[in-house]
Amino acid sequence: MLKRTIFIVIALLLTLLTAGANAAETKNAAPAPYQGLDFASELKDAPRRIIPLFPQSLGLIYLFGEQKNVVGMPFTKVKVSLHKGGFFSQADRAVMLKKDIGYPGMPNIESLIGFKPDLIITPSNFHMKANRFLDDMKIPQLRVHGTFSETHHWLEAVENFGKIVRKEEQAKKYIDYFNSKFDIVRERVKKAAPKSRIKVAHLVKAGNKYIAYGQKSSFVKSFLNEIDCDVMGFDNKNDAETTLSQEEIIKFDPDFVFIESITHATGKIKVELAEGFWPRLSAYRNGRIHFVPVDDESAFLTSWYFNLAAPLGILWTAKTIYPQLFADIDTDAEADRFYIEFLKIDRRKMLQANESVKKSAEK
């Protein structure tokens, strides 16, 4: 009887200890990624002091014309050029008057708190040490997936931000536009019923390497898959960033290769295709290596594969793969209209500015 009692007491103690450990682990664990507004009750009106804490959130700011309400910028991770005709000179000439607030991996907490923001846009899948301070102060935080997402996540973020800044009509207008371009591509490709899916490799140039897949390019992998492309690395799109393996791309042997050559921190990067594996690819031999269009070579926001201008990227990709199927689509004219309609920017001035910058660099 005594032995049985001792056994029961020990079992109960072990159960309590295990439960305590699990509770502590749960308490300290980072929350699962999600999109939404934390401390919404603290936001009484449209925000007037906004901090976009990471570069990918800037698309929301400029889409809704909220730059005048931004008090801090992630300058450490964002290249800004105010050259005549460029994106920032047209959209936000006062941008350099804003203060640097760091970035999710190294936020300037003193500045974050000192600015007394009524809204901070933070990444959904990056749990900062600063979160507990922001939570304790009950500062409203809009969590968004940014480029670490799928297309419907981006449109959800647009809808959420539109509600917050009281510009639901602009959100609807953009979402309808995005979906209409997507529908055109999907319907035509489906109707054409190609014999086999087109094999596509999407690469991001980063320094002296190429990123083949991972969370930072999952957005593009998502829409390429939705327009019925067989995308290299699609099953691994939510993994950590993975550098291109020559063996993998040679084995996959894509029909088309689309390369992004601009980053938010450095602007456009020179790509020479000098690596030895390129001539071994069908895409290279057939002249099907394409660089994703960028309208201002110093501003990553103008890349057609970035969330903001993705409708243009979807049309351009479809026309590049199926030129006859989309012969009636004038992507240049479409892009001109897009920038005027949604950003109040003259795209032609950006393109001219690129040429001026190049000529100045050559002197």
- Structural domain containing residue 68: 36-169
Convert 231-264 into a string of H (helix), E (strand) and C (coil).
Answer: ECCHHHCCCCCEECCHHHHHHHCCCEEEEECEEC
- Please list the residues that pair with 290 across neighbouring strands: 258
Q: How far apart are CA 346 and CA 304, in angstroms?
A: 16
Question: pLDDT value at position 126?
Answer: 61
Q: Domain with 107 in it: what CATH number?
A: 3.40.50.1980
Q: Among residues 169, 202, 234, which one ends one of the domains?
A: 169
- Last residue within a domain, chosen from 169, 184, 206: 169
pLDDT tens across 256-295, in order? 999 999 888 777 888 889 999 999 999 999 999 999 999 9
Q: What are the tokens at 272? A: 């020479």
Q: Is residue 218 part of a domain?
A: yes
Residue 187 lies in a domain: no
Q: Are 189 and 322 in contact (CB under 8 A)?
A: yes
Among 109, 114, 73, residue whose Cα is nearest residue 91:
73
In a domain? residue 80:
yes
Q: Are residues 162 and 221 in the same domain?
A: no
Give how many domains the chain has, as a whole number: 2
Beta bridge partners of 258: 202, 290
Tell me the per-residue pLDDT of 93-146, one tens digit each, with 9 for 90 and over.
999 999 999 888 788 888 888 889 999 998 886 655 666 777 778 889 999 987
Query: Does residue 359 sit within a domain?
Result: no
Q: Which residues of the chain have pLDDT under 50?
A: 1-28
Same domain membership, residue 211 and residue 287: yes
Does 130 share its domain with 202?
no
* Domain contains 22: no
| Same domain (yes/no): 279, 158 | no
Q: For residues 202 and 152, state if they share a domain.
A: no
Residues of the chain with pLDDT > 70, as a percent, come to 87
Task: Report pLDDT for 352.
Answer: 93
Residues 44 and 144 in one domain: yes
- Same domain for 198 and 165, yes or no, is no
Identify whether 356 is part of a domain: no
Residue 51: left (phi > 0), alpha (psi -120 to 50), or beta?
beta
Residue 87 parent element (H or E): helix 87-91
User: pTM of the full predicted structure?
Assistant: 0.87
- Is there a single domain that holds both residue 222 and residue 260? yes
46 and 155 share one domain: yes
> At a CB cut-off of 8 Å and minimum separation 6, what does 257 contact?
200, 201, 202, 203, 281, 283, 284, 288, 289, 290
Asked whether residue 3 is domain-assigned, the answer is no
The Cβ of residue 61 has, within 10 Å, a number of other Cβ atoms equal to 23
**Alpha-carbon Rg for the chain in angstroms:** 24
The reply to whether 325 falls in a domain is yes
Question: What is the rounded distance in angstroms from the CA atom of residue 82 to the CA atom of residue 95?
Answer: 9
